[in-house]
Structure formats: structure tokens, C-alpha cells
Amino acid sequence: MLIAADRRIFVGCRAGQTGAWQMPQGGIDRGEAAIEAACRELKEEVGTSKALLLRESRGWIAYDVPPALRPAHWRGRWHGQAQKWFALAFTGTDDDIDIDAHDREFEAWRWVSARDLPALIVPFKRPVYETVLAEFADLVA
């Protein structure tokens, strides 16, 4: 969760999936710590490393992906994901954000309030976002 100085949250709209807004996320590479993965994914997806760690979620937060949306390369082995979340304070300016810096995962981005965020998220991920917002509420309220 990338948090601006005014407590709004960064969200990106997935490339090729109109209306599919989400916060940056990604996998952990072999030998990589979860926070290292979070920082790498931030750089790859948002194009910036201008952020300071505020907090790590207490635990892993899991969700299931609806069967029709599960990637073919999962081959039925997985049904969803478990995620470790980090709250990061954005220390840059909007000019430091470059969603074209790497393989483009977002087609658009914006800052949103915690209040408005859940309504933007696809329904199957919404409970995860509500859990994360509750855990980091003091940082985004």
C-alpha cells in the first residue's frame, strides 16, 4: 500500500482489464524477503522506489480466485493467493511515478481515499482490501 502525504492510496487499473483497479502486488522470488519483493514490485509496477516502510501486516491474507479467472498456468494446482502487505509512505511527487518503467501492468493510476477504495476493487479481492484497510486504518484515515 503506497500512501501519499495526504493519506490517499495509490491504485492502478490493470492493463487490458478496464475497471480492474488494485494496489501493486507481486510474487516473491526465491531467496527474496517479502519486503524486498514489495520494494521490487513497487519499482516494477509503479516506477518508483521513493517510499519508506511504515508497517508490515501482522499475518498473511489469503483469497480465492474465481475458477473462471484462474490463470491456465496454475493448472488447477492453486485456487488463490496469500499475500503479505506493507504500508509504505510515498516520499516522491507524482512526477516520480512511471507505470511504463517496466513491463506495463497498469494502464492508468490515481490516488484514492481509503473510503473510496473498496468500491473500485473486484468483488473477490474486496475482503482482502477491507482487511488491509482496517489494519492500516490509522495511516490512511
Whether the model pTM is above 0.85: yes
Q: Which residues contact 116 (CB under 8 A, 6 or more apart)?
A: none
Ordered per-residue pLDDT tens for the chain, 141 residues: 999 999 999 999 999 888 899 999 999 999 999 999 999 999 999 999 999 999 999 999 999 999 988 889 988 888 999 999 999 999 999 999 999 998 899 999 999 999 999 999 999 999 999 999 999 999 999
Q: What is the dihedral of CA 18, 19, 21, 25, to 10 degrees?
A: -30
Domain count, the chain: 1
Q: How far is CA 116 from CA 13, 111, 113, 128, 139, in A?
A: 15, 10, 5, 15, 15
At residue 127, the 3 state secondary structure works out as helix
**Contact 139/87 with Cβ under 8 angstroms?**
yes
The residue range of the domain holding 110 is 2-140
Helix (H) or strand (E) holding 1: none
- The pLDDT assigned to 76 comes to 85
Cell of residue 6, nine digits: 495526504
- The pLDDT assigned to 10 comes to 98
CATH number of the domain residue 20 falls in: 3.90.79.10
- The pLDDT assigned to 16 comes to 87
Task: Give the HSE-up count for residue 91: Cα atoms under 13 Å, Cβ half-sphere.
Answer: 7
CA angle 10, 56, 9 (to 5 degrees): 15
**Contact 91/106 with Cβ under 8 angstroms?**
no
CA angle 132, 8, 94 (to 5 degrees): 125
